[in-house]
Amino acid sequence: MTRKRIEITTGFVQADYNFWVGKYMDKFYDGLESKQVLGNRCPTCNRVFVPPRKVCGNCFKTIDLSNNWVKLKDTGTLRNFTTTRIAVSEAGKKKTSEAIPIGMVQFDGSDTSVVYPLLDVQEKDLTIGLKVQVVWNDELKGHPRDIKGFRMLKGGER
């Protein structure tokens, strides 16, 4: 059997996708613009979600949009961490000489965690349970990146 390419076609397809954040996340992002971390509380099981959600995953109850909001401090606890040597941004990715620490942080008063870079800290100094605080970006736009990352608070481990 002989093989022969009959036709080779190259083309370009552009596909734009959206994701609507919905009213709950909308409020969360609006909060960031004024350096306010917002969560919401399930009236049934009292869990506090950051970011807020419309339906409690445990109770399957709709959390009313008009109340149940919880204003949180910008401090939290490091619950887990890792480091990466590849910096990823919208422009692409590149290798870095220094490790970038990333952490799972539980905001004080919440039952969930968020994942953000950990700033000004060495790999070797990281440990679960460290107290951390939000470092806000200079420019606030109601965007996830309004939170630049978290810095370690003095006082160390809990």
Partner 1 sequence: MSKQQAAIVSAGFCEHASKRSDVNMAEMANEAIQDCLNNANIEMDAVDAIVMGNMPAFEGANLPELWMTDWVGARDKPLIRVTTGGTTGGSVAIAGYYHVAAGLPGIETVLAVAFEQQSCGNTSVGLSSVALGEISIVNALGLPAESAMRIFGAGAAIGIASYQAINYMKRSGCTEEDLARVVVQNRRNAAKNWWTHLKMPDYTIEQVMATPYVSYPLRFGMVTPASDGACAVLFTREEIAKDTVDIPAYVNGVSSVANETGIVGYAAAGAGQLDPCEQLGAVESAKLAYSQAGISFPEKEIDYAEVYSPFPNQELMWLERLGLFKENTAHLRYRDGTTAPNGELPVNCSGGVNSTNAIGASGLERVAEAALQIMGKAENQVPKTVHTSIGHGWGGCINFVTLTVLSDQPRRK
User: Would you tell me which residues interact with partner 1 (CB under 8 A)?
Assistant: 7, 9, 11, 13, 15-25, 54-55, 57-58, 60, 62
- Residue nearer to partner 1 on the CB measure, 4 or 20: 20
Please give the Cα distance from 39 to 19 (Å, whole number).
20
Cβ–Cβ under 8 Å, residues 142 and 30: yes
Residue 63 φ/ψ, nearest 5 degrees: -95, 120
* Tokens standing for residue 18: 């959206």
The minimum distance between CB 17 and partner 1, in angstroms, equals 3
The minimum distance between CB 150 and partner 1, in angstroms, equals 25
The minimum distance between CB 75 and partner 1, in angstroms, equals 27
The minimum distance between CB 138 and partner 1, in angstroms, equals 29
- Residue nearer to partner 1 on the CB measure, 60 or 86: 60
How many residues are present in the chain? 158
- Residue nearer to partner 1 on the CB measure, 8 or 91: 8
Please give the Cα distance from 87 to 96 (Å, whole number).
6
- Residue nearer to partner 1 on the CB measure, 15 or 86: 15
Residue 18's CB is within 10 A of a number of other CB atoms, namely 5
| Alpha helices, DSSP H, located in 14-131 | 22-33
